[in-house]
Structure 1
Amino acid sequence: MFVLAELKDTVRILPKKFKRKLNDSITDELNRKLANKVYHNVGLCIALHDITKIQESFIFPGDGSSHTKVIFRYIVFRPFIEEILIGKIRSCSVDGVHVTLGFFEDIVIPPHKLQHPSRFDQTEQAWVWEYDTGDGEKHDLFMDAGEIIRFRVVSETFTETLPTGPKTGADAAEKSEAKNVSPYALGAAIDEPGLGLLSWWENT
């Protein structure tokens, strides 16, 4: 679920921080810049693990800050495809079951990846697995918000989001829609025995 990613960056340190140890200033700056942010095609950055190389620092004309190239390792959330994880149902919609891990919420189990057969109950706003009891009857198993769920990661999507200036009219609506696009999302599945709500399998 978590991996170490080796990255490199040029860190800018303001003059007011020159009294501190360079290593501490770089650590603070890297965490400020990357923590809880998605690094494209890498994953969700969690925290700095260590700094492996600090190169020379430079001060450019007109800028009193120092600029230091560093190579470092960062703890990143990026589960591998087919990995089994346990989360909590955040909500349900016609698009599927939305799952959260607490620190990461962009996980969706689409309808075709639910236990079969399943249906969406508009009144309860929940997906329901129509479980066959084996004696010709079906028992409705609801997937309610807040339930603990075990799922398999089947896909990942990185979307590059670029900053945009203020817009009006139709452009503003387009900008608002773009803001709702997650830079990193996971697709999941529960369409096999042992997956789904933990309560389903407690007595099996």
Structure 2
Amino acid sequence: MFVLCEMKDTVRIPPWEFKENTTDAIMDILNKKFANKVVYNVGLCIALWDLVKLEDSFIFPGDGATHTNVHFRYVVFRPFIDEILVGKIKCSSKEGVYVSMGFFDDIFIPADALQHPAIFESQDQIWAWEYEVDEDTKHKLFMDIDEEIRFRVVDETFTDTTPSGPDTTNTESDIPTDPELKKPPYTITASISDSGLGCMSWWNG
């Protein structure tokens, strides 16, 4: 679930921070820059682990700050494919179930990856697994909001959210974009179609 990734960045230390220990100042800047942010094709950065190497610092003309190339290792959230994780159900729709792990919310279980057969209760906006007790009896096991759920990671998607320049060919480019339509930078697709997966209450007896 968590991995150590070696990264490199140029750290700028402004003059008013020269009184601080250089290593402490660099670590503080790296944590502020990367913590709780997604790095494309790397994952969700959690916290700085350590500094591997500090190269020579430079001061450029017109800028009193120092610039240092730093090699460091960061704790990153990036589960591997087929890893089993536990989260909580955030909400549901006809498309599937959305899961949160507290620090990461962009986990989606498509409808076809739920336990079969599953039905969507449109009035309550929740999914239910129609568990067959015997040939004549079926029992609905509901997937309620905030219930703990065990799932398997089946895919991951990174989206480059770097701002691009204005589209001069589009006469409606000045129309603001709905923030809800923006894609998250990192999403995980999951499944609960295997035995032992799904709501924890189903399997706890």
Normalising to structure 1: TM-score of the pair?
Answer: 0.94
RMSD: 1.9
Please name the residue that 1:4 is paired with: 4
Please name the residue that 1:127 is paired with: 127
1:88 aligns with 2:88: yes
Please name the residue that 1:51 is paired with: 51
1:202 Cα deviation (Å)?
A: 1.1
Equivalent position SS for 1:50:
strand
Amino acid at match of 1:196: G
% identity of equivalent residues: 55
Compared with structure 1, are the counterparts of its residues 157 and 174 closer, same or farther at alpha carbon in structure 2 (3 Å cutoff)? Answer: farther
Aligned length: 203
String of CA shifts for 1:140-180, please: whole Å, max 9, x gaps.
Answer: 11111010000000000000002257999954667325863
String of CA shifts for 1:22-66, please: whole Å, max 9, x gaps.
Answer: 100100100110000000000000000000100000000011110
Gapped regions of structure 1 (runs ≥ 5) = none
Please name the residue that 1:152 is paired with: 152
Please name the residue that 1:30 is paired with: 30
1:2 Cα deviation (Å)?
A: 0.3
Normalising to structure 2: TM-score of the pair?
Answer: 0.93
Compared with structure 1, are the counterparts of its residues 77 and 40 closer, same or farther at alpha carbon in structure 2 (3 Å cutoff)? Answer: same
Compared with structure 1, are the counterparts of its residues 174 and 119 closer, same or farther at alpha carbon in structure 2 (3 Å cutoff)? Answer: farther
Please list every run of at least 4 consecutive aligned residues from structure 1 whose deviation after the TM superposition is greater than 3 angstroms.
Answer: 164-174
Gapped regions of structure 2 (runs ≥ 5) = none
Q: 2:191 aligns with which of 178, 189, 192?
A: 189
Structure 1: distance between partners of 2:28 and 2:149: 36
Equivalent position SS for 1:175:
coil
Please name the residue that 1:113 is paired with: 113
Equivalent position SS for 2:178:
helix
